[in-house]
Amino acid sequence: MCIKLRTGGASHIRKFKKTSVVILLIYFLFAFKGVKAEKAMNLKVKSPRVAYNILIDISEFKLYLISKKTNEVIKTYPIASGKKETPSPYGTWTITEKSSNWGKGFGSRWLGLNVPWGRYGIHGTNRPESINNPLSHGCIRMNNKDVEDLYKYVNVGTVVVIYGGPYNMHWYSFRTLAPGDKGADVLEVQRVLMNKKYYTGSLNGVYSEYMKSKILKFKKENNLRYTHFLDKEFYNALGMEPFE
C-alpha cells in the first residue's frame, strides 16, 4: 500500500518522491499510535461517510488531504501552527465538530478536534500573513478560501494526524514542565512512563498531582534531582532525545 501524489509530469514526480515516502511513514506511524491513544482516552467518534484523512506536517507548514480509498493526496494547503509557547497538539485526533458560523474575528469555518487538554481545531484566519509561520495559539490556521474548500471534503469522524517528530515536537528541544502544564509533550511523558510501568493514569496530556507523584517516584529510584520540574536530566533518564 502507498500514498500517491497527484502530479503534472516527471519533474513533479521527482520533486515529490521524497515527500511521498515521508508522508507514508508519518501517516502509518500515527495512525497506529492514535488507535491506542484513542482507546486509552475513550474518545471515539464514528461517521458513516468519512472518505478522507488529514495529515498536517508542522515542519513543512502543510496540510495534506488524503483519500481513504486510494491513499492519494488529493489536496495540499499551506497552514500556520502554534507558537513555541503555545504549540499545536501533535498526535492523532478526530474531527468532532464542524461550523461555518463560529466567530467573525477568526476567519471562516471551524473543524474542532478531540484534544483532551484544550479547545483546538483547524480554522480560517483574518491574518493571511501568519500562514507558513508558527504564530497561532495552538490551532491550525488556514487561508479562508482553503479552509472553505477543505470543509466541503471532511466530515465529523475524519482522522487528523498532526506531526512534529517522533516525540510530537517541532522545536528540537523539550519544554521544562511543571505541574499544571498541558500539551502533547506531557502526553508523550505519560506514554513513556506508562511503558516503564510507572504511570497508570489517563493519557490526557495534563501534568496532574497524580502524575507528579509517579514522576517523583521515578526520580527517586533513578537518583535524579528530587523536584517536580521535568528538565533535560529527566528527559535523558527516560531516554527521550530531541529530534533534529
pLDDT digits (tens, 9 = 90+) for 126-184: 888 999 998 888 899 999 999 999 999 999 999 999 987 655 554 456 788 999 988 88
Reduced 3-state DSSP string for the chain: CCCEECCCCHHHHHHHHHHHHHHHHHHHHHHHHHHHHHHHHCCCCCCCCCCEEEEEECCCCEEEEEECCCCEEEEEEECEEECCCCCCCCEEEEEEEEECCCCHHHCCCEEEECCCCCCCEEEEECCHHHCCCEEECCCEEEEHHHHHHHHHHCCCCCEEEEECCCCCCCCCCCCCECCCCECHHHHHHHHHHHHCCCCCCCCCCECCHHHHHHHHHHHHHCCCCCCCCECHHHHHHHCCCCCC
pLDDT of residue 167: 53
Rounded Cα gap, residues 69 and 52, in angstroms: 8
Per the CATH hierarchy, to which homologous superfamily does domain 4-163 belong?
Answer: L,D-transpeptidase catalytic domain-like (2.40.440.10)
Which pLDDT does position 64 carry in this prediction? 97
Q: Given this model, what pLDDT does residue 10 score?
A: 39
The pLDDT assigned to 36 comes to 43
- pTM to 2 decimal places: 0.66
Catalytic residue among 2, 12, 123, 170: 123
Q: What residue spans define the domains of the chain?
A: 4-163, 184-238
123 labelled catalytic = yes
pLDDT score at 70: 92
Q: Which of 137, 139, 170, 228 is flagged as catalytic?
A: 139
